[in-house]
């Protein structure tokens, strides 16, 4: 690795929202900045309500979202972005670039610049590609062609590496498994900030389940809402708090779902929060019901803060995060050191569900949530095993490994 005064880093990401990749980019930025590296952070899209910001080191291409672009403008952007990246790399004499996610990876891979190029994959792509889009087709082409131009492609779990090789046709040898880094001390510091809003504080005076993340097709929040509706029948004094924004279609659907299930007095949408960790700490359990994931940052954050997790078996990477030993996928709930892993909820088709009928795996998710909020032993088990679970996410080790050549 180059010495500090020779190294100039460009972080490349699509957005500045409160999603896992954006929070990860901020962790890298804070660490490299503290070590004296020259660093810039590029967002393809910068919005007024961005939660993740990089001050004077922030660069961006557009001040409005892809959804506001015409089809022609969007494709024009796709063609221009690699050229613009190349110009920035020359302008700031960048020696290392780190791309977060496939859009950034792809544009970096065809920028034909000479820095040490690092890409990263954060989710199970074979499942994501079942939701066909034009960009997914371009990405799959990149896996078989332009990704060879990356000096290193980081997969954040063993499961993701095997998935892109076995199921997505990835054929290059530039892959390295590196888990996501986390500044544990900073997470704890942020989680200790008090909730000062009286109405919000009142929500957490009851048993509370929390979702924290982007409301998207991938996260399939309708599953945990249906599971919660079953729970409330037996535990009516329980709240569900949802923090985050996302896909307008998904948000509209789940608001309608809450109304139809008559959950308005128990489900609360708080939107984006600049410090979501104080809410995570105040909750009894974090819930995820994703159709696919990599190794979700929010699970590590929840472990660090001390809040147990209930998550669907949306990838083998969940086990890598939540347990100290391996478990095979099963049709039963699995109790592990960080909480409970419930059976996979994906039924082979991505998108807004066509039926509101509750199925078995959602019932099992509900059972896990009920067990979690009525049994304190899960929180005690997490406290006991927390240090072991967090070892592989050491911030300094991970950030240094990223810059090292394979």
All structural domains of the chain, each given as residue ranges with its CATH number in brackets, are 4-178 (3.40.50.2000), 185-392 (3.40.50.2000)
* Exposed/middle/buried for residue 66 (C-beta within 10 Å: 0-12, 13-18, 19+): middle
Q: Read off the pTM.
A: 0.73
d(CA 180, CA 176): 12
**Residue 4 reports pLDDT greater than 90:** no
Nearest 5°: phi and psi at 293?
Answer: -155, 175
List, in order, residues 6 or more apart from 71 with CB less than 8 Å away.
Answer: none
SS3 content of the chain, % helix, strand, coil (to 5): 45, 20, 40
**Residue 252 reports pLDDT greater than 80:** yes
Pairing of strands 334-336, 339-342: antiparallel
Residue with more model confidence, 296 or 90: 90
pLDDT tens track for 27-74: 999 999 999 999 999 999 999 989 899 999 999 999 999 989 999 999
d(CA 26, CA 112): 26
What is residue 290's DSSP assignment? -
Closest to 312 in 3D by CA, of 291, 326, 285, 286: 291
Helix (H, G, I), strand (E, B) or coil at 327: coil
**Residue 248 reports pLDDT greater than 50:** yes
Closest to 169 in 3D by CA, of 191, 148, 150: 148
List, in order, residues 6 or more apart from 319 with CB less than 8 Å away.
Answer: 313, 326, 327, 336, 341
**How many CA atoms within 13 Å lie on the side-chain side of 352?**
11
- The answer to which of 13-27, 47-61, 110-124 has the lowest mean pLDDT is 13-27
List, in order, residues 6 or more apart from 102 with CB less than 8 Å away.
Answer: 121, 125, 135, 139, 142
Task: Work out the mean pLDDT of the chain and round it to a whole number.
Answer: 94
Is residue 1 very low, low, confident or very high in pLDDT (cuts 50, 70, 90)?
Answer: very low
**Residue 349 reports pLDDT greater than 90:** no
* Exposed/middle/buried for residue 262 (C-beta within 10 Å: 0-12, 13-18, 19+): exposed
pLDDT tens track for 171-226: 999 999 999 888 899 999 999 999 999 999 999 999 999 999 999 999 999 999 99
């Amino acid at each position: 690795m180059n010495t500090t005064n020779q190294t100039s880093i460009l972080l490349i990401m699509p957005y500045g929202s409160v999603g896992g990749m954006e929070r990860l980019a901020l962790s890298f930025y804070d660490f490299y900045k503290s070590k004296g590296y020259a660093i810039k952070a590029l967002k393809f899209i910068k919005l007024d309500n961005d939660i993740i910001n990089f001050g004077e080191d922030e660069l961006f291409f557009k001040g409005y979202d892809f959804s506001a672009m015409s089809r022609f403008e969007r494709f024009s952007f796709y063609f221009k972005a690699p050229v613009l990246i190349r110009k920035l790399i020359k302008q700031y004499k960048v020696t290392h670039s780190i791309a977060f996610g496939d859009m950034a990876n792809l544009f970096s891979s065809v920028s034909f610049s000479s820095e040490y190029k690092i890409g990263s994959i954060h989710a199970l792509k074979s499942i994501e590609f079942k939701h066909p889009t034009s960009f997914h087709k371009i990405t799959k082409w990149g896996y078989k062609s332009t990704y060879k131009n990356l000096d290193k492609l980081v997969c954040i779990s063993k499961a993701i590496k095997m998935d892109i090789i076995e199921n997505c046709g990835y054929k290059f040898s530039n892959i390295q498994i590196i888990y996501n880094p986390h500044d544990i001390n900073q997470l704890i510091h942020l989680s200790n900030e008090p909730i000062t809003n009286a109405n919000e504080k009142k929500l957490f005076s009851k048993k509370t389940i929390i979702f924290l993340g982007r409301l998207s097709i991938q996260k399939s929040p309708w599953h945990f809402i249906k599971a919660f509706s079953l729970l409330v029948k037996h535990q009516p004094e329980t709240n569900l708090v949802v923090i985050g924004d996302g896909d307008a279609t998904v948000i509209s659907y789940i608001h309608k779902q809450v109304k139809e299930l008559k959950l308005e007095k128990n489900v609360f949408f708080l939107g984006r929060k600049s410090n979501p960790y104080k809410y995570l700490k105040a909750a009894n359990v974090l819930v995820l019901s994703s159709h696919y994931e990599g190794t979700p940052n929010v699970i590590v954050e929840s472990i660090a803060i001390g809040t147990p997790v209930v998550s669907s078996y949306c990838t083998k990477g969940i086990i890598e995060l939540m347990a100290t030993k391996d478990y095979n996928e099963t049709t039963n709930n699995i109790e592990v050191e960080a909480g409970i892993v419930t059976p996979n909820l994906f039924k082979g088709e991505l998108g807004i569900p066509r039926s509101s009928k509750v199925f078995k795996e959602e019932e099992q998710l509900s059972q896990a949530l009920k067990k979690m909020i009525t049994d304190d032993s899960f929180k005690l088990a997490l406290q006991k095993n927390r240090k072991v679970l967090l070892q592989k996410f050491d911030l300094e080790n991970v950030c240094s490994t990223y810059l090292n050549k394979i």
